[in-house]
Each structure stands twice: as C-alpha cells, then as structure tokens.
Amino acid sequence: MGFQRITLTVNDLVETVDVPTNMTLLQMLREKLSLTGTKNGCTAGECGACTVLMNGEPVNSCMVLAAECEGANITTVEGLAKGGQLSKVQQAIIKTGGVQCGFCTPGMLISATALLARNANPSESEIREALVGNLCRCTGYVRIVDAVKEAARM
C-alpha cells in the first residue's frame, strides 16, 4: 500500500495531506483533517450520511478515494456557516424542527445546499427526489423537507 501527497481545498482552506492510496475521502476528512461533522453510516454509498460537496456536486465521500481529490474543492457541514453566520438551510432546519438525533443532518444539509444551488425554487417533489439518497430514521423527513422549502423562501 502506497501513499500519495495531495493538495486540495476544504472549506476554503488549502490543505496538503499524505494519504494512503486506499483511503477514502470520508476517512481523510475525519481522520486526517479532524472534520468529524461528516458521518459514516454504511461505508457503501447507501445512506448519504457522508455526503459532501466535491466541486459543487454532492458525493458520498465514502465512495471517493482521497487520492482522486487532488485539486478538488470540498465543502463539508463545517464549511456551511460563514463568519459565524449559519447558512439559510441551517437556519431553516432549526426553525422547522427538522433535527432529531442529528446523525443524518450533515449529509441532509449538504444535499439540500446542492439542490438550492442548482434550483433556487424547487417543487416539493424535486426536494424529495434530491434527498432520496439521504436516509433518516427519526424525523420521517417531514420537517426536513419543510426546511428546504423554508430556505428557498429566505
């Protein structure tokens, strides 16, 4: 197993990291950069808890090798608030009560952020489809979907 040195941007900071070639982006974020806000729910790309933005697109970070991220621009849940100001989706999910255990929340927020970036005024079914890859066992999705609607209005 070899190592590779990569340089990438994570939450607006340029990072240079030595990563084993078999290390995933999720592992790198959590273990090398101490960004533990991104969660691991299945290690198989099925639950969406590890969703981050890679060059603006939502990806399951457990399915991306860190070594593939040379030059990439990554945004994790820790990068959503700017200068202590929560993003619209973060504010909205607090307002609607869409957080319970909080384990799916980081991935949900990222998927919702990606949706609103490409479609500022999504319909309810577009919201539901955008969140299909993010499993939640607590909320029944009701107030999470409400939060995305609310964020679109803000």
Partner 1 sequence: MANVKNKEKSPSIIGANLPRNDVYEKVTGTAVYTDDIQFGNKLLYARVKRSPYPHALVKKVDISKAKALPGVKAVITGADFPNKIGLYLKDKTILATDRVRFIGEGVAAVAAISNEIAMKALDLIDVEYEELEPVFDPVYGASKEAPLLHPNMAEYSYPNFIFPKPGTNIANHFKIRKGNLEEAWSKCKYIVERQFKIPHIQHVPIETHVAVAMMDEKGKITLWASSQSPFAQRALIAESLGISPTDLRVIAPFVGGGFGCKAGVTMEALPVALATKCKGWPVKFVLTREEEFYTNFVRQGLTSFLKVGCDEKGRIIALKNTMYWDGGGSTEYGVNVTRAGGYSSSGPYDIENVETDSICVYTNHPIGGAYRGFGMSELHTGLDQAIDELAAKAGIDKVEFLKMNVVKGGDKLDTGMIMHETGVKQTIENAAKAIDWNSPKTPSSPNKLRGRGIASMWKAPAMPPNAGSSAWVELAEDGHITVGLGGQEIGQGTFTVMAQMAAAALGVPYENVRIAGPVDTQYSPYEWQTVASRLTWSMGNAVRNAALDARKQILDVVAQAWHENAEDLDIVNGVVVSYKTENETSLKNIAIYGIPKENDQGWVGGPIIGRGNFMPTYVTGLDPETGQGTRSVVHYTTGTEALDIEIDKETGQITVLKAAASFDVGHAINPVLVQSQIEGGFIQGLSSAMFEEIKLKKGVTTNPSFVDYRIATAPDVNFKIETPYVEVPQDDGPWGARGVGEHPMVPTIAALGNAIYDAIGVRLPGPPYSAEKIYLAMLDAGLVK
> For the window 94-133, what string marks contact with partner 1 as x by the rule CB under 8 A?
x--x-xxxxxxxx--x--------------xx-xxx-xx-
60 binds partner 1 (CB under 8 A): no
Strand partners of residue 6: 17
**What residues have CB less than 8 Å from 142, skipping those under 6 apart?**
98
Binding flag, residue 46, partner 1 (CB under 8 A): yes
Handedness of CA 23, 37, 149, 85 (dihedral sign): negative
Nearest C-alpha neighbor of 86 from the set 97, 98, 75, 78: 78
Closer to partner 1 by Cβ: residue 70 or 124: 124
d(CA 121, CA 24): 33
Q: Considering the rule CB under 8 A, would residue 58 count as an interface residue with partner 1?
A: no
Please report, as ranges, the residues that interact with partner 1 according to CB under 8 A. 30, 34-44, 46-47, 49, 76-78, 80-81, 86, 90, 93-94, 97, 99-106, 109, 124-125, 127-129, 131-132, 134-145
